[in-house]
Amino acid sequence: MDLAQKFLPHYLFHSQEKYFPIDMNEYLLKNKTVKRDTLHYSFRTDPKKKNKFWIYYWAFYSYDSGSWWFGYDSHPLDLELVIIQVYFMKIEKICFCPHSSPEHFWLNFNDSQSILNINQSFNVFPSLGKHAQYPFAGTIWRYYGFGNDFNNQKIYKNLTLASIHNETLIHPFFFPHQSMLTMDLDYIPTLPLDSIKYRMIFIPLIFINFYLYIQKWFTTTKKSTNLRG
């Protein structure tokens, strides 16, 4: 936990946010009143470079209240992720994972360094309702303005770290997210910081759904080929 605490991001929420990160282990496994303001973490090492590793910061919410557009995409349970790549005890790159995989992105080395403070930490800005996480506040334009994300950075939360229990890892809710712990992170594109604000504005949602379908088909086919080989 010491390393996760060392690089722990600061989370700043919108002033109208109603739902904040809670303890995923207690919520999923014990079904009782849970600890509030909790952030989970997990580690991943690089087998080729012993001084290189990744820390995953997972923010779990009991409810996703949807986008500003009548909350049409609201749903129970929400899990958001930020990944940091550390080399020789310094953050090299930061990965933000808003919404579905086509919107995930790494910041390059220079842009990652630009948002770090002197203590090797940085700010994370979850969007209002949807909790999609970004490296800056303001408006993120998506889907011709109908899926915009907002954050006015008015509420700071001092989140307490907690590991993820083994039982949580195999829980039906978390299980689909396990691939993030083993996937090739180089498949996530590296984007310049100044492109994030508008990069999704002219992309119709149907293209995203088609991309996810192709990605799922490719992954399934690749696994079947490997099994046959």
Segment-wise mean pLDDT, segments of 10 residues, the chain, 229 residues:
93 95 93 85 93 97 77 81 96 95 94 94 95 96 88 94 95 92 92 93 63 54 39
**C-alpha–C-alpha distance, residues 9 and 188, integer Å:** 21
Instruction: Give the count of beta carbons closer than 10 Å to the beta carbon of residue 50.
Output: 8
Q: pTM for the complete prediction?
A: 0.87
Output the six-digit token pair for 159. 């989140």
Residues 55-113: tens digit of each pLDDT: 999 999 999 987 655 556 688 899 999 999 999 999 999 999 999 888 999 999 999 99
DSSP code, position 136:
S
Provide DSSP, 182-201: TS-GGGSPEE-GGGTTTTBT
Residue with tokens 């090797």: 120
pLDDT score, position 224: 38
Output the six-digit token pair for 23. 């303890």
Residues 6+ apart with CB under 8 A from 112: 91, 92, 93, 94
- Is the backbone of residue 138 left (phi > 0), alpha (psi -120 to 50) or beta? left
Q: Measure the CA angle with vertex 178, ends 59 and 66; round to 5°.
A: 40
Residue with tokens 């303005």: 145
Q: What is the largest CA-CA distance in the chain?
A: 54
pLDDT score, position 226: 38
Instruction: Tell me the one-letter amino acid at 101.
Output: S
Dihedral angle over CA of 22, 28, 33, 39, nearest 10: -20
